[in-house]
Amino acid sequence: FIPVDICMQRLDKIIEKYNVGFLYAADENFGTDKRWLEEFCEQIKKRDILFAVGTRAKGVTPDSLRMLREAGCTDVTYGNETGSERMLEIMEKKVSIEDNYNAVKWAIEAGMNSIVQLVCGMPGETPETIAETIEFTKYCNTVSPNQNPNDLSVNYAQALPGTPLYEHARENGLIGKTLEEEEKYLLAISDRDAHDETTTLNFTDYPKLTCETWRPLITIEVNYHYVKRFGIDQYFKVIARDTDYFHRPANDTGYYANPKRLLDTLSFGKKASQKDRLVPPSLFSLVIRRQYGLAIMMYPVMAYRFRKMLPFLVFIKNIKIKGIKYSLGVVAEYFSFMFAKKSSLFNSKDDYKSLRKIVKIAGDVDNDDNSMLALRKGR
């Protein structure tokens, strides 16, 4: 940890130079040293500033979170990743489901926000583990009626050099068999977020079409659960409260990206001033504009009732992005899988474990190159 006095010297400089009033500490392990955290909170209280932090779910307590809130912290982010104990073990998160539940609950009870961070599609992911993640997220995003259930970050597992997942992708031919194909993959993901379906690899035993329904399905299930618990008026109230996005140019396709960012592109909704309640644009107008992500968010009950249509929506989206040939291939894979499953020809692997324990680092992949060994070992 950087000593607190040095942190404060740096903070004072940027406050003076840039008139900063909000600080985000982009740290994945903030404040796990309790003595450091106490000193930090005491010092930052003396400055007129709000801040947000990232830390580990296993490293917080109700007392430490209350201390952060009293010092001016507004948001605490954890790398929750999943609601499945099995997937936590595969990811080697070294936290339990109970840790994740408690960390979010304690942050909300302390008066802070906590946006659930999820990664889906790791090897071993199944509809059952996604269902566990949905239950976890439904709980986390409905602790309080003041939460916005759309405050979610749902990404796909992304294979990056120097990670066991990358080596797993190489061993299984998911990123090609030559250095040229590997380079092509790296260039493709170099400027893409991890929620981008066009460059996402399928690490699961399930068809890609199924995997691409998981992100919107999580949003649909969570929003519907919120509406059931707190009512549709409260749902639109928190969306209207968190946004002022209704007079800005629409410059986004509206697919399944971050919901709050999608609202930022909505130029034809409006607020009902008498109740501060959002009046959504018509479903027809959203569909015509192909803003399916917005349609899911603005019509949570209808989206839930038609959630089994998600494979069709993904198919339509794929036609626009990747063309009819690719889209038909994905559909063919989907129906082949469904036939195999119905005929009892499909057997999902149940022996997945930490990739770090099973991947081979270089030397055992066709056309491997020893000059790449340093990159392979990574971290």
Instruction: Choose the weakest-confidence range: 143-152, 263-272, 336-345.
Output: 263-272
Task: Provide the percentage of residues in the chain whose pLDDT is more than 90.
Answer: 52
- Residue 265 pLDDT greater than 60, yes or no: no
323: pLDDT strictly greater than 80? yes
Mean pLDDT of 363-376: 63
CA-wise closest residue to 195 among 166, 136, 254, 153:
153
Q: Report the pLDDT averaged over residues 174-200.
A: 86
- Examine residue 138 and state whether it is found in any structural domain, yes or no: yes
Is position 253 within any domain?
Answer: no
CA distance 154 to 116: 8
pLDDT-derived band of residue 291, with 50, 70 and 90 as boundaries?
confident
Judge whether 9 lies within some domain: no
Domain assignment present for 2: no
**3-state class (DSSP) for residue 74:** strand
Residue 314, domain member (yes or no): yes
Tell whether the model's pLDDT for residue 243 goes beyond 90. no
Q: What is the mean pLDDT of residues 319-337?
A: 91
How is residue 87 written in tokens? 């997937």
Distance from C-alpha of 193 to C-alpha of 186, rounded to nearest angstrom? 13
Position 363 pLDDT exceeds 80: no
Give the pLDDT confidence score for residue 199 in this predicted structure: 86
Q: Which of 18, 324, 369, 366 is nearest to 172 (CA)?
A: 366
Q: Which amino acid is at 324?
A: I
Does a structural domain hold residue 5? no
pLDDT score of 173 = 87
> Pairing between strand 116-120 and 270-272?
unpaired
pLDDT of residue 57: 93
- In the chain, the percentage of residues whose pLDDT exceeds 70 is 82
Nearest to 94 by CA among 138, 34, 32: 32
Rg (CA), the chain: 22
Strand ranges (E), the chain: 22-25, 50-55, 73-78, 116-120, 152-156, 270-272, 277-279
If you average pLDDT over residues 31-55, what whole number do you get? 93
How much is the pLDDT for 292?
84
pTM to 2 decimal places: 0.84
Query: What pLDDT is recorded for position 26?
Result: 84
Q: What CA–CA distance (Å, rounded) separates 166 from 179?
A: 14
Domain range for residue 183?
15-247+260-377
pLDDT tens digits, 244-253: 444 444 444 4
- Average pLDDT (280-287) is 85
- Confidence (pLDDT) at 251: 47
Residue 41 in this model has a pLDDT that exceeds 90:
yes
Residue 37 lies in a domain: yes
The answer to whether residue 119 sits within a structural domain is yes
What pLDDT was estimated at residue 154?
Answer: 93
* Mean of pLDDT values over 152-180: 87
Angle between the 208-230 and 232-242 helix axes, to the nearest 10 degrees? 110
Say if residues 167 and 159 touch (Cβ distance below 8 Å): no
Q: What pLDDT does 134 receive?
A: 97
Q: How many domains does the chain have?
A: 1
Q: How many residues in total does the chain contain?
A: 379
